[in-house]
Amino acid sequence: MAVRKNQATLTAKEKRDFVNAVLELKRTGRYDAFVSTHNSFIVGDTDNGERTGHRSPSFLPWHRKFLLQFEQALQSIDPNVTLPYWDWTADRTPASSLWGADFLGGNGRSSDGQVTTGAFAFSGGKWTLGVRPDSRSYLRRALGSAVASLPTRAEAESVLAISTYDAAPWNSSSEGFRNNLEGWRGVNLHNRVHVWVGGHMMTGMSPNDPVFWLHHCFIDKLWAEWQRRHPGQGYLPTGGTANVVDLNDTMKPWNDTTPADMLDHTRLYTYDTGF
């Protein structure tokens, strides 16, 4: 059984193996397909139309499946690799080891936002962006510039305390755990982290930055934690909702996986600790 670990606890070898597997997916073109898929959903998901990957109840099971597929792709390169997660309530500064040259590389430089350290720096020749919103083909970051602070542990706790999974109208204006976690309302957890990292993480092509996977792995872990704390609550809605993925509807683009299939992560992988 795969165990997903806190990125801060990875050994030097685990970091190296993860980075090398990511680079190999990039080299073969498989990585960019994930970026394309994410962007096509993020520009297609709308509050008043069909919505699957974002701003909807299936935000969480959709990303759980998306991450699982990415993790399986990594494991096809190196079977020992699992997705690490980034607990941004704990590792909150650009000085975190997450941003070390031996892992994801550091902040973008002030002149043009270009990441210049680590394996994903453009100058290394292994991380040229093909699926991108503009003419620049180098990875960019601006840690902490568009929003000053990452969410705190207390803010995460306040969202975990919300007992209802989601609520009509099942979009970015909803009450409930999902939308407060996604960040369209309330203290703003997931969205704010994208903005804090800046650069490509702010765009629809956010998986261009490998930290995307570590961020979403922690979001996935928070969903697991919410389930543990609210055992009587479940995914909503459960049927007959226009434009929205109900509990037993299949999700695009896979068309063979329902939110119900994704509820129990423990048959797929486990986490090293609780929140």
Partner 1 sequence: MSESTHATELTRRRMLQGAAVALTAAAGTAVLGLTGPANGPASAAGLGASDEFDEAYRGRRIQGRPAHGAGGEHHHGGGYTVLIDGEPLHMMRNADGTWISVVNHYQTFSTPRALARAAVNELQGAALVPIA
Q: By the 8 A CB rule, do 2 and 80 touch?
A: no
Least distance to partner 1, CB of residue 48, Å? 4
Write the binding mask 149 to 188 for partner 1: x where contact by CB under 8 A, - elsewhere: -------------------xxxxxx---------xxx---
Q: By the 8 A CB rule, do 203 and 87 touch?
A: no
Residues 132, 211, 50: CA angle, nearest 5 degrees = 60
Beta carbon nearer to partner 1, 148 or 154: 148
Stretch that binds partner 1, among 6-14, 35-43, 227-235, 261-269 (CB under 8 A): 35-43
List the one residue from 8, 146, 187, 268 that touches partner 1 (CB under 8 A). 146
Beta carbon nearer to partner 1, 44 or 124: 44
Asked if 63 interacts with partner 1 (CB under 8 A), we say: no
Q: Greatest CA span in the chain, whole angstroms? A: 51
Asked if 141 interacts with partner 1 (CB under 8 A), we say: no
Name the token pair of 68.
Answer: 């699982």
**Euclidean distance between CA atoms 175 and 182, whole angstroms:** 11
Q: By the 8 A CB rule, do 255 and 52 touch?
A: no
Beta carbon nearer to partner 1, 169 or 234: 169
SS3 at position 178:
helix
Q: What DSSP element (H or E) covers 2?
A: strand 2-4
Tell me the number of residues near partner 1 by CB under 8 A. Answer: 42
CA 199 from chain centre, in angstroms, equals 15
List the one residue from 204, 207, 237, 259 that touches partner 1 (CB under 8 A). 204
Q: What DSSP element (H or E) covers 208?
A: none
Asked if 47 interacts with partner 1 (CB under 8 A), we say: yes
Contacts with partner 1 by CB under 8 A lie at 39-40, 42-44, 46-49, 55, 110-113, 132-136, 145-148, 168-173, 183-185, 190-192, 194-195, 202-206
